[in-house]
Amino acid sequence: MFAFATHPRVSVKVTRRTVGRSVRREPTRVPNQANGRGPSRLGRLARPPQSAHALIKPTALAVDDFSTGIAAAHLGPLGGAVGCNDYKEFEKVIYGFVEGIKTGECPPWAKDTVRAFLLKEEGGNRVMLTILIPSAELKNALPFFVESGPKANPLWAQSNETWKDPNTPIFATGSEAFLVRGEANANKNIKGKYFGQYQLGWNGTIDEWIPQFTVPEANEFHNSVGIEFSVAHKLDLKTPGNAYKTKARNGLEVFHCFNSVDGAKAFEKAFAPDSPFFVNEPKYVGPYVQTIWKVVDDIVFKA
């Protein structure tokens, strides 16, 4: 995520081959019972049933560009998904926080926020303000979301009495961006669209993972379900406050921006260990965590 005009653009060559000695075939191939090989056009296999196609809007123009320029900026999203019993009361609190970022009356780790997204969970009661901050601040920012134990932030106990749902644990993550798909679209205002937020483990290097994401078959599927841009991140797994746990070497977090909720729900079926996207690559490790968000507001603080 999601402000790139001042950052250098570095192209990523899209190839049908993967890297890493342990990858023996394209990760997007689907085995069949006869010979262990399958068709290369994974997107067609992963699409929803024909009856659902009318509800899904493929991207108006195919997105086929990838850039690693964002990695040089050392930025990333910070957000905590919090259960909400009173949205209007929450909205007052969160816009007060947004105004504090604008005036500088906010925690030090939030002062250099570039952009923020106010999000509401589709089919749930959670809310989240995701802010794009320097990744060096994650170690200071993630503890803000600790809600129990001796280092708990007292704000959460106070919020239980007003807008927060005390029965829903906070799920917070912070990460650093390293790859963008559809950079031009990422710079547009996306209020009213949908984010899919995805976390999973990867037992390899980030460089080994990138070709898994940029193969044409995966990109074809992303376009078919209306993903207008995507940003891939490396999770901070060590700082207190982070809620995503994996035994893998690295944690990955991807935000996909969908042009419709139906496209996000179609993608939901493909984000699973037995999906053809993942089943043939042993370096993928769970848990597979995903959330669909409605983008209520898109706020830019700095260009």
Residues 180-233 pLDDT 10s = 999 999 999 999 999 999 999 999 999 999 999 999 999 999 999 999 999 999
Give the pLDDT confidence of 70-118 residue by residue, as tens digits: 999 999 999 999 999 999 999 999 999 999 999 999 999 999 999 999 9
Buried b (16+ CB within 10 A) or exposed e, 217-232: bbbbbbbbbbbbbbbb
Q: Which residue has the higher pLDDT, 10 or 114?
A: 114
Joined together, the tokens standing for residue 252 give: 């990955």
Complete domains list, the chain, with CATH: 63-71+174-288 (3.30.70), 73-170 (3.30.70)
The pLDDT value given to residue 19: 26
The amino acid sitting at 85 is: N
Q: What is the pTM of this model?
A: 0.84
Q: Which residue has the higher pLDDT, 31 or 63?
A: 63
The pLDDT value given to residue 5: 37
Q: CA quadruple 99, 159, 144, 180: dihedral positive or negative?
A: negative
Joined together, the tokens standing for residue 171 give: 């799920």
Question: Is the pLDDT score of 18 beyond 80?
Answer: no
Question: Is the pLDDT score of 131 beyond 80?
Answer: yes
